[in-house]
Amino acid sequence: MIKDTNLLVVSAHAADFVWRSGGTIAKYKKHGANVKIVILSYGIRGESADLWRIENQTYEGVKKVRHEEVLAAARELGVENDLEFWDFEDYMMDLSIPERLDRMVRKIREVSPHHIITHGPKDAFNPDHEAVSQFVFKASVMSIQNGIKTEGLPNVKQARLFGFEPHQTEISDFKPDVLIDITEVYDMKEKAMKCFKTQSHLIEYYMARARIRGNNAARCSGKPYSEYKYAEAFSRFFPYVGGELV
């Protein structure tokens, strides 16, 4: 059941959550989930190359464009009121600062998520993504401990953690554990992706990836290919636990 599920999404850079989980986010929001998205950085230094080619460009100028792109994309997904910008410096993102880890523990305890979606443990070309994966994992484990105190908030139950499919999937040795059908909201994801003019070279890539994962989802489930047209893939941090095979 999606309705009333608490979903926390942690994105290293401005567009990561859209490329990798925009359809899942839109689907959960559409069906009544409580969605919160934390964007740790705008990707100003390492993910905005086209903007830096503009003469007399500035750090604040790049940040303004990236902020506007995120807001436009979020509106397409229906989550414009569910964003939180932490504005860390990217490339390389320093997540060793204790206050930053404490802040993420607090956010997890505030949201009390059933599911957390973030970067998976391996990304061949992006150390920021790998660092964020470990950062969120550590915070999630800390958030369940009785002995780690957050003023005004109790500890929470262990959330299920899911890792985004990284760019350059095969080179990053990614193998999907979960395929989420996003056919009903794919148009929303495509419109959201097209808001990111700064990284327009990725739009076709992720459109193609959604079709490939839709094909995988149909084949693995036995559903008709006409029903599962688009999907997103995730890895599990922990095994599935239940009383039956599902």
pTM score above 0.95: yes
Q: Which of 67-71, 221-225, 228-232 has the lowest mean pLDDT?
A: 221-225
In this model, does residue 245 exceed pLDDT 90?
Answer: no
| pLDDT bucket at 25, cuts 50 / 70 / 90 | very high
| pLDDT bucket at 226, cuts 50 / 70 / 90 | very high
| pLDDT bucket at 246, cuts 50 / 70 / 90 | confident
Q: Which of 72, 100, 73, 105 is closest to 87 using CA atoms?
A: 100
3-state secondary structure the chain: CCCCCEEEEEECCCCHHHHHHHHHHHHHHHCCCEEEEEECCCCCCCCCHHHHCCCCCCHHHHHHHHHHHHHHHHHHHCCCCCEEECCCCCCCCCCCCHHHHHHHHHHHHHHCCCEEEECCCCCCCCHHHHHHHHHHHHHHHHHCCCCCCECCECCCCCCEEEEECCCCCCCCCCCCCEEEECHHHHHHHHHHHCCCHHHHHHHHHHHHHHHHHHHHHHHHHCCCCCCCCCEEEEEECCCCCCCCCC
Average pLDDT over residues 48-66: 97
The domains of the chain, with CATH numbers, are: 6-236 (3.40.50.10320)
The chain-wide mean pLDDT, for the chain, equals: 97
| pLDDT bucket at 179, cuts 50 / 70 / 90 | very high
| pLDDT bucket at 200, cuts 50 / 70 / 90 | very high
